[in-house]
A and B are shown apart, each in its own frame.
Chain A
Amino acid sequence: MKAMKETGILLVLLSLCTGPVFPQTQENVGDIADGNKAIPVHLIRIYDEFDHLIRLDDNPLMPFSPKRTCRKCHDYEKIRVGWHFNAADSSVAPGRIGEPWIYVDRQAATQMPLSYRRWKGTYPPSAVGLTSFKFLSLFGRHLPGGGVGEKDSAQELNDYMRWQVSGNLEVNCQSCHNADPGQSQSEYGVQVLRQNFRWAATASSGFATVQGSAREMPDNFDLYSSVPPEKSEFLPPTVTYNKSRFDVAGKVLFGVPRKMSPVQCSFCHSSKVIDPRQPDRWEAEEDVHVAAGMTCVDCHRNGLDHQMTRGYEGEAEVAGRPAASSLTCRGCHLGSGDGGVPAEGRRGAPRPLHLGIPPVHFDKLACTACHSGPWPSANTLRVKTSRAHSLGIPKADKSDDALPQIMTPVFAKQSDGTYAPHDIFWPAFWASRKQNHIEPVATDFVRPLVAEIFAKDTTRTLGRWPVLRDADILYVLRRLHEQDSTSIPVYISAGKLFQIGSGGKLEAVDHEAASPYLWPVAHDVRPKAQSLGIRGCADCHATDAPFYFGSVVKASPYIVESDSMTRMTKYQDKSAVSAWLFSMSFLFRPGLKALIILSFVLIALVVLIYTMRGLAHIIRILAEEE
């Protein structure tokens, strides 16, 4: 008892010594909302990666570190595990399948879906020999930093020196949270391609200029020393701040809106459909929500943990966040129907009438099936995306047929059984096969072999893809077999696995690894008047309607002529015959309707006549009894 009393007194004294207890620490004061809806002004000091305050007279001038600068008020550790940064975290559930990073090696006739998330059909970057450093050097242009960019455990020992030169690619908060008109994600991309990882955020901020390239610096390059003589023709990465942006106290004004403009998201989330019906940009439409003045984050919301709401049906259950159920198409336009507080009509979302559309459509189709993506045509269209085609990066290939080849829209069945529009992409790569296991071969091995073929025959030129013949494939496969006789060399393209068959001929077989990779697309959402079904059932149920009978082009480096297309029904687990029969029945529907109406009228008349006769009889009997 005495001991307890003493402990109690000690605790009281201790609490008095530590001063008043605040509900939050000073470090994350920016994370706690007090309810004021005004936007806090971010006039702040900037810090470098070593947490040193940056002054304009520093020599050398260091790039500012978003991590060190923003964490003064925000919980960086909590933010860095958000959806945009956690792909390589094996403890994070992969979530619904999404757009992969597409590794393209034109000369090796290779296009492969890569992802650190374990989405079915993707390969980890290491499968093609990409270390996290090389991965960032290729794809970091469209990443907001973080993840493998600053995760020590993901950095391979072989790249240690290069990481020292380039620095970490920290989470670049400004990628999303900078409304400064000078904020340039394009410049960020360029800096990442130059391997100027630690300089990228500064260069894109709009108040600094970064010159030079870490890529050109030797492994022993040091930030504080000059460039070695052998590299003297190259400029080391250097930063110059715009002095006018610093106030007398050395603070810089950051434009940090509470909600980002869609333009900011668009840098990484744009897509351009190569649609002959709308050849020029001015002819294309934008998403109906954006056109109405909404922002991406009106629906794709997140908390401090930056777990973005992706907005698909079922996300609430998958992600364990019930609130996500009201942030889907249905959630806003129809209400989540969970019996709680009504959440529909958010941002003035109109409730659709769907006049005359049988309810089965709402169980079998995702909302996007009728409302999103380009209006389907007889053949799938090419689409270019920010991440796959480096959109927005200077000097990126702007031609319509730039690689990789992605087609859209494909109305495919999703894991929840509904049909939705997808982008489709056909993996093409060289691999070794052991039993049923497919192991991609690094393109470094293959590229010279393909080059040999074209070097031997100067009449042939490399096109968009090297035009490969059966003999070329066989040649490369044989050469690969010479290098590794323990496995069967194969080439995957256009949905087939090619291997050396009996008699030394090229043999095409089906294999899961050759399956196309599809991911659902939800934008751009078309206006109601441009939705499938607006002109009637025939929009989807005609015998030549693209929804069922559209041709999916197998855009690949090597295609067997007779097998260059597939029907849309292939991706719907549907027989083309039954789909055709079903569509045929719509041809007779008007006649069938007329027959039913005629029958209804006849039966109604018969019933009416005999009811009247019965009634007349009853009246007569009653009259007689009277």
Chain B
Amino acid sequence: MTIFRIISIIALLILVGAVAFDLKRRLRSWKAVMEFLRGEMKNFVLVRREKTVLRSGRTIAMVRKMVYAVAVLCFFILAGTGFAPILFAGDHLTGILLVIHVTVAPLFALSLSAAALLWAHSQRFNEDDWRVVRHLGDSGLREKTIRFATKVGFWLILLLSLPLMLTVILELFPLFGTEGEAFLIRLHGYSALSLMLVALGHIYLTTLRYAK
């Protein structure tokens, strides 16, 4: 079992555990947690809201939501195809999964860059965020804290996507030898793992913000 596989499994378990316990803390019982998750799954919050936006007729809002939906969808496909063979089989990403991965990756990159253009301004840090930093743990700033965490997540996703894309770009050109290529693959893997953890956290926080 490679170190990367072990780290990935541990990191994912920690994230899933943290989310589960946070939900339990908020909803007080495991039964309520399960119901919450089931409900969110059934009415994928973003898609549901997208319909509302479509009805509202605001083009830019519609584009925003669609970009977000595409990015999230691509993210799950990429995470699934990229990590499934590593986590479950300890094998390289090859065959049909690789085909799906490399086909969806540019779409993800494109939707992420669109998201960067559409949300960067609204996700910039402001006075409220500075207040959250100064009063961390203040229960009165709960909503603002979640919003601040969402912003941090957004910028981290953008930052982590840079090495993620750069490693792929460099790997696709005959610039590096075997060791260099192996290093790039490792870097791609760790960037992807970090991005996946941050993105899952971001999705969780977004879900919390919009959940009733």
Of B22-30, B48-56, B154-162, the stretch lying at the interface with chain A is B154-162
Q: Which residues of B contact A604 (CB under 8 A)?
A: 162
Contact of A581 among B96, B116, B155, B174 (CB under 8 A): B96
The answer to whether A358 touches B112 (Cβ under 8 A) is no
A354 within 8 A of B: yes
Q: Which residues of A contact B15 (CB under 8 A)?
A: none
With A595-B109, A599-B110 given, is the CB distance from A358 to B120 under 8 Å? no
Q: Which residues of B contact A364 (CB under 8 A)?
A: 92, 94
Contact of A357 among B105, B161, B181 (CB under 8 A): B181
The answer to whether A606 touches B116 (Cβ under 8 A) is yes
A597 within 8 A of B: yes
The CA of A592 and the CA of B176, in the complex, are separated in Å by 20
The CA of A89 and the CA of B190, in the complex, are separated in Å by 53
Mark each residue of chain B from 86 to 111: 1 if its CB lies under 8 Å from any CB of chain A, else 0.
00000011111011001101100110
The CA of A356 and the CA of B171, in the complex, are separated in Å by 6
The CA of A352 and the CA of B174, in the complex, are separated in Å by 13
Mark each residue of chain B from 102 to 139: 1 if its CB lies under 8 Å from any CB of chain A, else 0.
11011001101100110010001100000000000000
Q: Which residues of B contact A360 (CB under 8 A)?
A: 92-94
With A355-B176, A364-B94, A599-B112 given, is the CB distance from A610 to B120 under 8 Å? yes
The CA of A353 and the CA of B98, in the complex, are separated in Å by 24
Most chain A CB neighbours (cut-off 10 Å) among B105, B159, B165, B185: B165
The answer to whether A596 touches B169 (Cβ under 8 A) is yes
The answer to whether A582 touches B96 (Cβ under 8 A) is yes
A129 within 8 A of B: no
**How far is the CB of A589 from the nearest CB of chain B, in Å?**
7
Residue of A nearest to B186 (CB): A359
Residue of B nearest to A584 (CB): B99
The answer to whether B178 touches A362 (Cβ under 8 A) is yes
The answer to whether A606 touches B99 (Cβ under 8 A) is no
B41 within 8 A of A: no
Mark each residue of chain A from 574 to 585: 1 if its CB lies under 8 Å from any CB of chain B, else 0.
100010011001
A378 within 8 A of B: no
The answer to whether B169 touches A581 (Cβ under 8 A) is no
Residue of B nearest to A360 (CB): B92
Q: Which residues of B contact A578 (CB under 8 A)?
A: 95-96, 99
**How far is the CB of A103 from the nearest CB of chain B, in Å?**
39
Contact of B178 among A359, A582, A595 (CB under 8 A): A359
Q: Which residues of B contact A357 (CB under 8 A)?
A: 178, 181
Contact of B117 among A355, A602, A614 (CB under 8 A): A602
**How far is the CB of B113 from the nearest CB of chain A, in Å?**
4
The answer to whether A603 touches B178 (Cβ under 8 A) is no
A600 within 8 A of B: yes
A598 within 8 A of B: yes
With A363-B92, A592-B102, A592-B105 given, is the CB distance from A356 to B169 under 8 Å? no
B166 within 8 A of A: yes
B172 within 8 A of A: yes
Mark each residue of chain B from 146 to 168: 1 if its CB lies under 8 Å from any CB of chain A, else 0.
00000000010011011001101
A321 within 8 A of B: no
The answer to whether A606 touches B172 (Cβ under 8 A) is no
Interface residues on A, range: 35 or more
The answer to whether A603 touches B125 (Cβ under 8 A) is no
A593 within 8 A of B: yes
The answer to whether A589 touches B172 (Cβ under 8 A) is yes
The answer to whether A607 touches B162 (Cβ under 8 A) is yes
With A359-B178, A364-B92, A600-B109 given, is the CB distance from A585 to B116 under 8 Å? no
The answer to whether B116 touches A603 (Cβ under 8 A) is yes
B173 within 8 A of A: yes
The answer to whether B175 touches A600 (Cβ under 8 A) is no
The answer to whether A600 touches B96 (Cβ under 8 A) is no
Q: A591-621: which residues lie under 8 A (CB-CB) from chain B?
A: 591-593, 595-600, 602-604, 606-607, 609-610, 613-614
The CA of A144 and the CA of B103, in the complex, are separated in Å by 56
With A355-B174, A602-B113, A603-B112 given, is the CB distance from A613 to B165 under 8 Å? no
The answer to whether A596 touches B173 (Cβ under 8 A) is no
Mark each residue of chain A from 350 to 386: 1 if its CB lies under 8 Å from any CB of chain B, else 0.
0011111111101110000000000000000000000
The CA of A417 and the CA of B158, in the complex, are separated in Å by 39
Contact of A356 among B102, B116, B176 (CB under 8 A): B176
B12 within 8 A of A: no
The CA of A441 and the CA of B171, in the complex, are separated in Å by 57
Contact of B109 among A591, A599, A613, A614 (CB under 8 A): A599
With A354-B177, A358-B181 given, is the CB distance from A606 to B158 under 8 Å? yes
The CA of A588 and the CA of B103, in the complex, are separated in Å by 9
The CA of A415 and the CA of B124, in the complex, are separated in Å by 56
Residue of A nearest to B119 (CB): A606
The answer to whether B169 touches A600 (Cβ under 8 A) is yes
The CA of A360 and the CA of B169, in the complex, are separated in Å by 17
The answer to whether A585 touches B113 (Cβ under 8 A) is no
Q: Which residues of A contact B124 (CB under 8 A)?
A: 610, 613-614
The CA of A611 and the CA of B57, in the complex, are separated in Å by 33
B47 within 8 A of A: no
The answer to whether B158 touches A607 (Cβ under 8 A) is yes
**How far is the CB of A605 from the nearest CB of chain B, in Å?**
9
The answer to whether B106 touches A595 (Cβ under 8 A) is yes
Residue of B nearest to A593 (CB): B172
The answer to whether B165 touches A359 (Cβ under 8 A) is no
The CA of A610 and the CA of B112, in the complex, are separated in Å by 16
The CA of A393 and the CA of B113, in the complex, are separated in Å by 71
B208 within 8 A of A: no
Residue of B nearest to A613 (CB): B124
The answer to whether A356 touches B173 (Cβ under 8 A) is yes
**How far is the CB of B92 from the nearest CB of chain A, in Å?**
4
Q: Which residues of A contact B159 (CB under 8 A)?
A: 607
B182 within 8 A of A: yes
**12 more A-B contacts (CB under 8 A) besides A356-B173, A356-B176, A607-B159?**
A354-B177, A356-B175, A356-B181, A578-B99, A582-B96, A595-B106, A600-B109, A600-B165, A607-B158, A609-B120, A610-B155, A614-B125
Sampled A-B contacts (23; CB under 8 Å): A358-B181, A359-B178, A359-B181, A364-B94, A574-B95, A581-B96, A582-B95, A582-B96, A588-B103, A591-B106, A596-B105, A596-B106, A596-B109, A598-B110, A598-B113, A600-B109, A600-B162, A603-B113, A603-B116, A603-B161, A606-B117, A606-B120, A610-B124
Query: Which residues on A are within 8 Å of B, measured CB to CB?
Result: 352-360, 362-364, 574, 578, 581-582, 585, 588-589, 591-593, 595-600, 602-604, 606-607, 609-610, 613-614
- Shortest 9 CB-CB distances between A and B: which pairs? A356-B174, A599-B109, A595-B106, A602-B113, A599-B113, A355-B174, A353-B177, A606-B116, A600-B165
Query: Which residues on B are within 8 Å of A, measured CB to CB?
Result: 92-96, 98-99, 102-103, 105-106, 109-110, 112-113, 116-117, 120, 124-125, 155, 158-159, 161-162, 165-166, 168-169, 171-178, 181-182, 185
